[in-house]
Copies of this chain bind each other. A is one copy, B any other.
């Protein structure tokens, strides 16, 4: 693991690191914020999975999460959204290939050699973090934005016991019924019969999540039709799933929206992590 940068931030450290990933078969970059408390012992972890076109950097610089994580003594982990590099396949579209890993393991060529973001985020990166940083991996929660909200919700539900709480900002809720999902699943997985249960609405219609859920989505989200919030809301209510979906008046899909409600989300996760 190589240290790209470390900056003092809210009494802790905002670091950026890279390492050779076996899962993705390329070098991967990620960011970790450690609060001051990490100097004295392992701290709980909140994952932030980013959306289409983002790297580890967007949320790290624009979401304002460190302020509240520092207050709560929680570490933040920002993975990249896909494998990257000259050898890694790509596509001219912003929503396929590099920057658009969709947090799944591709099985179709040419994507299958590198696009293993599910394994990377749920297996390889946690193992590396546990080894290199003072993190209490028995206390993890997860959040994300848009495509990253899809990642957070599907990981939380598919890995029972892993995360104490899950939240999301304007998540893609029902990718198998959206152009943000069908196109990518078809490319990465081929025939629809092969698509796994990587769909938050379908998972909620199954076992749901064994903890609290918090979702914020803006009423003026310019991608609202692609998110499928209504399907997830219906599934959550039908299941009597603990949690809340908040439609925030006038907010759109931007980081200004994310930053506005970050304090609420980190407070929500802190309650679960310190319960």
Contacts and interface: CB of A to CB of B under 8 A. Distances in A.
Nearest to A250: B8
Interface stretch (A60-68, A97-105, A208-216): A60-68
A8 B64 contact: no
Contacts of A66: 256, 259-260
Given A8-B218, A8-B220, A218-B8, A64 B259 contact: yes
A257 interface: yes
Q: Tell me which of A64, A218, A257 has the highest count of chain B C-beta atoms within 10 A of its own C-beta.
A: A64
Interface string A231-269: 000000000000000000011101111011001000000
A165 interface: no
A contacts with B: majority SS: mixed
A17 interface: no
A64 to B, nearest CB: 4
A226 interface: no
Contacts of A263: 67
A154 interface: no
A260 B61 CA distance: 12
A257 B7 contact: yes
A147 B7 CA distance: 20
A187 B67 CA distance: 40
B9 A260 contact: yes
A66 B258 CA distance: 12
Contact of A251 (B8, B61, B220): B8
Contacts of A72: none
A201 interface: no
26 contacts: A7-B252, A7-B257, A8-B218, A8-B220, A8-B250, A8-B251, A8-B252, A8-B257, A8-B260, A9-B256, A9-B257, A9-B259, A10-B259, A11-B260, A14-B256, A61-B61, A61-B62, A62-B62, A64-B64, A64-B67, A66-B256, A66-B259, A66-B260, A67-B67, A67-B260, A67-B263
Given A7-B251, A64-B67, 18 more contacts: A7-B254, A7-B256, A7-B257, A8-B218, A8-B250, A8-B256, A8-B260, A9-B256, A9-B260, A10-B260, A11-B260, A61-B61, A61-B62, A61-B255, A66-B256, A66-B260, A67-B259, A67-B260
